[in-house]
């Protein structure tokens, strides 16, 4: 293949190649080095590609192999040690943070060799063949020992927690939005690990279930509610995540009278630093529509977030990107920013929560702002959406005219109007 033709084909799929490597390799410097190495290897092997129309699949295969080599090299020097995040992964329920001590105590009673298997498989999400290479044992031995270790952990952990913790049951959501009060506190906002998926409130981890509802204002009536459940592990383009089934029950409203039930499947990934969507699947008429992070503009506007779609940060801290003065908000960038804006006491459904407020200005869509109140467990207590006054006007009426009773914010000198709220069964 001529050099000019190779460079032309590479340029066409460069963004997909970068996105693939950045997704698979969490360390940005390593991913950049690996990307350069992949392009060099592809250039050296360019004459082996007989059909130029298969260039994208061909170079992504080279990338996949090189990424696998990278992980094998990392695994050879891997030191197995306790990671705090394993508490939450092995707990596999909604109140994991409340029983971390029991999880750790249980794991410490499992023989050290089984501890290694559990940590490699559940925390590092390492494929069985890679575990076999790391521990220098056959894959069949890994399978049998992992099966035994998992059953032993469950047995011991069940004995530890059965007396103190009952099974988490999903509760029915109220049809009318509960009364609530929001009061800003003088204390500095606390740091918190916020692992929920943006917009869908569930944590992408095995064992998670959730219901959440959407309530239009000023009616305060539920107009739709969602059921979500993480059903198992999944892999998209070689990248490991979990599969989430989501069922949306549309009850109809003044803004949407269609009604009905819609089903979706998400593949999402939770890392040490970010939470991100890998794929979304839904029914489009009689066609099953699949979209992944490699599909560019067909995927990113709805499901992508962050530089190269790295996802949202899960370790929340106050960065000072947004200033608040009463109901007026300003940000230096004037657009597309998300940050902790303060500490708030939220009283809702007869309970009081100490939370941090997170303001999101137009990171999802131009003219859309949200505020989300997250407690010290990293769970959303209340989520509120605001539309810029001229956002998607179809009937000639501004949002302040359509919803004159609703609360208004001034964000970067523009009027935003409260549209709806969301709560989940976490607060029930």
In whole angstroms, what is the distance from residue 279 CA to residue 266 CA? 6
Domain shared by 248 and 219, yes or no: yes
Q: Given the structure tokens 């192999």, which residue do they identify?
A: 65
Residue where a domain stops, chosen among 59, 76, 93: 76
Which residue from 220, 177, 65, 78 is spatially nearest to 135, judged by alpha carbons? 78
Q: Are both 319 and 182 inside the same structural domain?
A: yes
The number of distinct structural domains making up the chain is 4
Compute the Cα dihedral for 385, 387, 392, 395 and give only its sign. Answer: positive
- Whether 61 and 106 share a structural domain: no
Residue 225 lies in a domain: yes
> Would the pTM count as exceeding 0.75?
no
- Least confident range from 37-46, 100-109, 262-271, 330-339: namely 100-109
Residues 387 and 243 in one domain: no
The pLDDT of residue 30: 84
- Give pLDDT tens digits for 164-199: 434 444 468 999 999 999 999 999 999 999 999 998
Handedness of CA 203, 374, 392, 333 (dihedral sign): negative
Q: Does 169 reside within a domain?
A: no
**Domain CATH for 139:** 1.10.10.10
pLDDT tens digits, one per residue of 324-341: 999 999 987 656 789 999
Q: What is the pLDDT of residue 74?
A: 62
Give the domain range for residue 65. Answer: 3-76
Q: Measure Cα distances from 127 to 122, 133, 240 in Å.
A: 10, 10, 9
Measuring CA to CA, how many Å separate 408 from each of 257, 288, 401?
25, 40, 12
- Lowest mean pLDDT of 38-47, 99-108, 192-201, 381-390, name the range: 99-108
Q: Is residue 201 part of a domain?
A: no
pLDDT exceeds 80 at position 157: no
**171 is a domain residue:** no
Phi, psi of 8 (to 5 degrees): -65, -45
> What is the reported pLDDT for 88?
47
SS3 201: coil
Q: Kindly state whether residues 414 and 326 are assigned to the same domain.
A: yes
Strand ranges, E, within 110-203: 180-184, 192-193
Euclidean distance between CA atoms 98 and 252, whole angstroms: 38
Considering only residues 385 and 296, tell me which one the structure prediction assigns the higher pLDDT.
385
pLDDT tens profile 55-111: 988 888 898 888 877 876 665 544 444 444 444 445 433 233 333 445 556 666 667
Determine the Cα–Cα distance for residues 342 and 83; give it in Å rounded to an integer.
30
57: nearest Cα among 308, 300, 310, 294: 294
Clarify whether residues 276 and 364 are in a common domain: no
Give the angle subtended at the CA of 26 by the CAs of 22 and 29, to the nearest 5°: 75
Task: Tell whether the model's pLDDT for residue 311 goes beyond 60.
Answer: yes
Q: Of 79-83, 249-253, 310-314, which has the strongest mean pLDDT?
A: 310-314
Percent of the chain's residues with pLDDT above 90: 41
283 and 253 part of one domain: yes
Residue 257 has pLDDT above 70, yes or no: no
Q: What is the pLDDT of residue 345?
A: 97
> Rounded to an integer, what distance in angstroms lies between the CA atom of residue 276 and that of residue 268?
6
172, part of any domain: no
Q: Is residue 328 part of a domain?
A: yes
> For residue 326, what are the CA distances in angstroms to 74, 184, 342, 361?
50, 10, 12, 17
* Token output for 272: 């040490």
Would you state the pLDDT for residue 93? 35
Asked if 149 and 240 sit in the same domain, the reply is no
Residues 358 and 218 grouped into a single domain:
no
229 in a structural domain: yes
Report yes or no on 129 lying in a domain: yes
Residues 37 and 12 in one domain: yes
**Which residues does 20 contact at the CB level (< 8 Å), separation at least 6?**
60, 63, 64, 237, 294
Return all residues near 396 (Cβ < 8 A) that are at least 6 apart: none
For residues 253-275, average pLDDT: 75
Q: How far apart are alpha carbons 312 and 410 in whole angstroms?
A: 25
Same-domain pairing of 68 and 101: no
């Amino acid at each position: 293949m001529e050099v000019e033709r190779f460079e032309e084909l590479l340029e066409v799929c460069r963004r997909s190649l970068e996105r693939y490597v950045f997704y698979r390799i969490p360390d940005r410097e390593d991913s950049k080095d690996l990307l350069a190495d992949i392009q060099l290897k592809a250039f050296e092997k360019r004459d082996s590609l007989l059909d130029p129309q298969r260039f994208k699949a061909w170079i992504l295969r080279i990338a996949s192999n090189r990424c696998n080599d990278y992980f094998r090299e990392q695994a050879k020097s891997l030191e197995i040690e306790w990671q705090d995040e394993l508490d939450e992964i092995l707990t596999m329920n909604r109140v994991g943070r409340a029983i971390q001590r029991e999880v750790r105590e249980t794991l410490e009673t499992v023989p050290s060799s089984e501890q290694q298997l559990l940590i490699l498989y559940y925390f590092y999400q390492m494929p069985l063949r890679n575990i076999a290479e790391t521990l220098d044992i056959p894959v069949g031995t890994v399978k049998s020992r992992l099966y035994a270790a998992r059953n032993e952990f469950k047995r011991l952990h069940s004995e530890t927690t059965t007396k103190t913790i009952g099974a988490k049951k999903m509760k029915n959501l109220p049809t009318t939005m509960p009364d609530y009060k929001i009061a800003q506190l003088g204390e500095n906002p606390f740091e918190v690990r916020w692992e929920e998926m943006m917009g869908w409130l569930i944590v992408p981890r095995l064992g998670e279930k959730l219901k959440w509802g959407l309530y239009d204002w000023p009616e305060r009536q539920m107009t739709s509610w969602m059921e979500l459940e993480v059903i198992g592990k999944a892999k998209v383009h070689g990248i490991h995540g979990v599969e989430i089934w989501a069922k949306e029950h549309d009850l109809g409203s003044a803004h949407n009278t269609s009604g009905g039930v819609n089903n979706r499947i998400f593949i999402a990934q939770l890392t040490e630093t970010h939470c991100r969507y890998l794929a979304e699947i839904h029914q489009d008429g009689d066609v099953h529509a699949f979209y992944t992070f490699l599909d560019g503009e067909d995927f990113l506007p709805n499901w992508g977030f962050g530089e190269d779609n790295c996802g949202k940060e899960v370790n929340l801290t106050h960065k000072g990107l947004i200033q608040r003065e009463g109901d007026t908000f300003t940000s230096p960038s004037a657009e597309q920013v998300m940050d902790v804006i303060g500490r708030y006491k939220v009283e809702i459904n007869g309970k009081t929560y100490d939370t941090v407020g997170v303001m999101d200005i137009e990171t999802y869509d131009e003219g859309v702002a949200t505020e989300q109140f997250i407690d010290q467990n990293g769970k959303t207590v209340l989520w509120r959406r605001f539309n810029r006054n001229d956002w998607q006007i179809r009937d000639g009426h501004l949002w302040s005219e359509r919803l004159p009773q609703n609360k208004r914010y001034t964000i970067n000198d523009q009027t935003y109007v409260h549209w709806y709220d969301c709560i989940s069964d976490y607060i029930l």
